[in-house]
Structure 1
Amino acid sequence: MSVKAKHFYRRALPDVCVDFSSPEGKKLFTEALLEGNANIFFKLSSQFRTQDDPAFCGLSSLVMVLNALEVDPGKVYNDYYPVKPRKVWMAPWRFYHETMLDCCVPVENIKKNGLTLAQVSCLASCNRLNSDMHNAAPNEDSIASFRRDVLRSVRFDDVILLASYNRSVLSQTGTGHFSPVAAYHSASDKVLLMDVARFKYPPHWVDLRLFHDAMCSIDKTSEKTRGYLNLSLVPNTRPLLMFGLRASIASSEPQFAQSLAAWTKFLLEEPLADESEELTLACRRFSQHFTDFAISCKPSESLCPKQCNDVETCTLEAVKSITTELRATTPAKLLLSSSVAALLFAFPFDSPPISSRAAKLISLLDEERKTFSIDTTNEIDLLRQQISTIVCTCKLPLKFD
């Protein structure tokens, strides 16, 4: 015998929230618009979407931001993208969709666990956005800083503020959620949230201080407070073209955590006096621990159409440049792999505490980095963001045997 599930057609907004389409909500918006505090609303509203999955609030909000800021995913040929060819809604249109955002966390993992603020920041950075992350703190300075960033965002149209907060603090059902802020009403000190769970709640106004309280709640996954991101397009950059971490990797995967723990233990040991021997040893150990997680494309000129437009030609040249420069480095020659060398160059050695061995490796790798072009530097920087996001969520043993 089947059991009938309880169904809902949306939820009633609690009293602390003002429906955007209500008379009061319209009045707040009109006044916010007249005082110049709703400029970003128009770009956001033109890309307003409903999340495709109950756990996709972070993904859908970020897709909304990427499309609102007019970020072109770029035409990427088969095997050029390290994880998989980018998907679009329907050819020939290049447009962001949730399934394309998997450079930091596999989509299947997101369906199970959602995203932390740092993970959304990583996804944003992998897709050509500058991500300025702020964890909220229960003090006046944090509130004042948040209000300043809200005003900076809503008064212009080049920066979007994406917030992570706890719904229950707003007397809503549910817990962790993401929403972009679209407007600010100064007299009432309220912000307008474009809630991507449109099946549940409409866009609504909420008191800024109360909303900040909701950001101060602890995310059980990251064990840090929630907060917000200031997101803007980084000009003259590209997404990852050549290298990356294996698409199925998860921060909770035992093998990766064990490899990270072993590598951390190695970094805490005293370095060899001879720099050449030290780099050789470090490359050998790094290869032992991380080769299985490195991936790369197989660039081929035959993949590029005979008649490339400027974007396609430029992308092909960037791929050639990245490949050539990394292959020429000492780590790539020692590791016999450009993809593993890319991971080594991108590894976040500067995470505190910095050991003497880590400091020496940073110095040695920095000398090699001086020869990198803008394209290769961009590739390594994006890869570092991806690695850092996964590393910071790994739980390492407190003691090493």
Structure 2
Amino acid sequence: MTSKILNIKKFELGGVFFVSIFISAFIFLFLPFYNAQALTLTPIRMEIAGDPGQVLSQEMTLINERDTDEKYYASYANFEASGETGSPSFVNATEGLGTWMETVESIDLPANSSKIVQVKIKIPANADPGGHFAVVFWGTQPPTTDSGSLAIGAKVGMLVLLRVNGDVDENGGILEFATKDKQTFFTHLPVSFYYRFQNSGGDRIKPEGDIAMKNIFGMTAEKISANPVEGNILPNSIRKIEANWQGRGGTAGPTDLDNKNFLTKAKYEWRNFAFGRYKAKMLLTYGTQKETALSSFVFWVLPWHLLIFIIIDLFLVFIIVRFIFRRYKHWLISKIMHGDYGKIAVEQNTNEMQNSLNSQNNSQIQTETQNQNNTEAVKKPVRRRI
């Protein structure tokens, strides 16, 4: 305990307790590859678990992409969450995981070459179960000999996320889930969501799950990943994670110039179409026991520029059809007034009358023939047998 207090005092005398490395370094830590000083590391993150007293080993590759020979030095630091963005704050490794790791002190890399090095983790027998987090840095400057400060320079590093097995409390939950700025009315996609997840347990949590967009009929219109960046939430911290429901037009909306153009906005709403009331239902699982967390948010998508454009189009179609029908009606009346259709009507009536007379004559002839046959039958003499 006394040693720990002395170390802390010495660190305070060094001037800095928490040291934030450049934003570019953080970007590297969470992207597959990042190039600083023409040095590339892979992998950029090690997620590993072990028992107290166990020695773990992991390979990492250093790639010198410069045209000159370089020498790189190894250094270590612990890190913890800073704010809700997931950005790490690096802490000088006076204890914890940063002091459990070891690798070569330095490495000479010829131009445009690569080498594989081993990183060993010696977990103490009395290590606390749960999450421990550190980073292995590589830079062109040797590490400082002052244990109370952390050398600042152009560095790249590999995150090490260690879980020491044992009885670990896993507890967390969703604090908030909504759209960006809690907006409930949209004219088109994309719709941006965020949620704040609290990890009150003893190990990191990586939420997994989906956000389902349910329309007014309860059908799933779309389903997106709730953790697209596969972000981890460190113990006793809150992290804000974002996800986007994107349309076919991508994430970018109309520019300021487009905003002055009604037709352009209607076209954009058509390419990124959604309509009506939606309920975003998020289901997350986390931890080794696959605990679940639920939340939902209701919003509307009404592409009113597009709707007005469609209504105007339908109105124009109605006017055109009505105009054509009226023109046809006037043309038909004109033909009738000039007698063309009158002659046709007279000829049709004449033919109908002629057919009627012919039918009557045929009927009369058949009747007379029948009567004549009946008369002849009456006049015919009857023969008697004697």
Q: TM-score range by the shorter chain?
A: under 0.3
| Structure having the higher Rg | 2
Higher helix share: 1
Question: When you count strand as a share of all residues, which structure comes out higher?
Answer: 2
TM-score (norm 1): 0.22
Q: Provide TM-score, normalisation by structure 2.
A: 0.22
1 or 2 for the larger relative contact order (CA 8 Å, sep ≥6)? 1
